[in-house]
Structure 1
Amino acid sequence: MHRMILAGSLLLALSTSAVASQVYKWVDAQGITHFGAQPPEGQQATSVNTSVPKPRPGLPRLDSEQPEPAPSKSTPVGDQKAIDEKVKADVATQEAERRKYCETIRTNLAQLQNNPRLRAEVDGEVRRLSEEERQSRIKDAEKAISENCD
């Protein structure tokens, strides 16, 4: 009897990692963003990080880390829809922040390229950038755009 309980507990503990699935995000030809458990064939999809770190014992919780109420057993489909909506909202927020960052860095790059007499505040003092500093900042901006923007 004890072996059956032990075996059942072990299977239950191992099954939680098998339940966790990967979420993919992709944009179709019409520009609509989609999320799904399987990436579409023939399209590039990015993996969405849905893991939540577990709180460490002994540390005080922040307001944002308060435990969520236990999900209702009566509407599992509704719970999945709520989770899907939360993931979509999180991804949309991250995408909006990325777009804003890209817009800012592109504006900065345009100013760096079009204006050889730029001034910048360095160590609390406003001074003119040397040509080497300007070229270095141009390269940094181009690198940031290539790594983070479409």
Structure 2
Amino acid sequence: MHRMIFAGSLLLALATTAMAGQVYKWVDAQGVTHFGAQPPDGQEATSVNTSIPKPRPSLPLLDSEIEQQQAQQPASKPVGDQKSIDEKVKAEVATQEAERRKYCDTIRTSLAQLQNNPRLRAEVNGEVRRLSEEERQSRIKDAEKAISENCN
């Protein structure tokens, strides 16, 4: 229950960052990466995509769902073919890891935008309004928590 509430509030908090302004990313002479609402003068900056993809839930399967999936799979491969099973599992793990990395990159970008832009707007119930400082700080805490729980 708590996870559903957290996930819902996190998605709500992060979905509104797409309504905010453009974010730029640049690296200074010391090699430090910066994010800002305006690009620096005389330095090359790239535009950052601030839209947040919805994370895929990874809930465990019920026994009945596992049995159903096994019944739907063709029996063309022998059950004892451990090498093919290992390859399949490795491919699934690699796909999940790539999705997690993409989610982490996006959430880190959103956190940087929340931290660097005090004038964010959000759409709430069809109405666009400016976020209060308390709401912005709450969303920063939610993003930091999501990073600490999901990203290395």
List alignment gaps of at least 5 residues for structure 2.
1-59
Structure scoring higher RCO (CA < 8 A, sep ≥ 6) equals 2
User: Which residue is equivalent to 2:117?
Assistant: 115
Aligned mates of 2:86, 2:105 — CA distance in 1:
28
Correspondence for 2:72 among 40, 62, 66: 66
Sequence identity (%): 74
**1:86: Cα distance to partner?**
0.5
Q: 1:52 to 1:121 in 2, by over 3 A?
A: closer
State the one-letter code of the partner of 1:99: R
Which residues of structure 1 form unaligned runs of 5+?
1-50
Relative to structure 1, is the Cα distance of residues 80 and 53 closer, same or farther in structure 2, using a 3 angstrom cutoff? farther
Equivalent positions of 1:21-100 (< 5 A) are 53-55=62-64, 66-69=72-75, 71-72=77-78, 76=80, 79-100=81-102
Work out the CA distance in 2 between the residues paired with 1:123 and 1:52: 34
3-state DSSP class of the match of 2:106? helix
Aligned Cα root-mean-square deviation (Å): 2.5
Match for residue 102 of structure 1?
A: 104
Moved over 2 A (4+): 51-56, 70-73
What SS is found at the alignment partner of 1:55?
helix
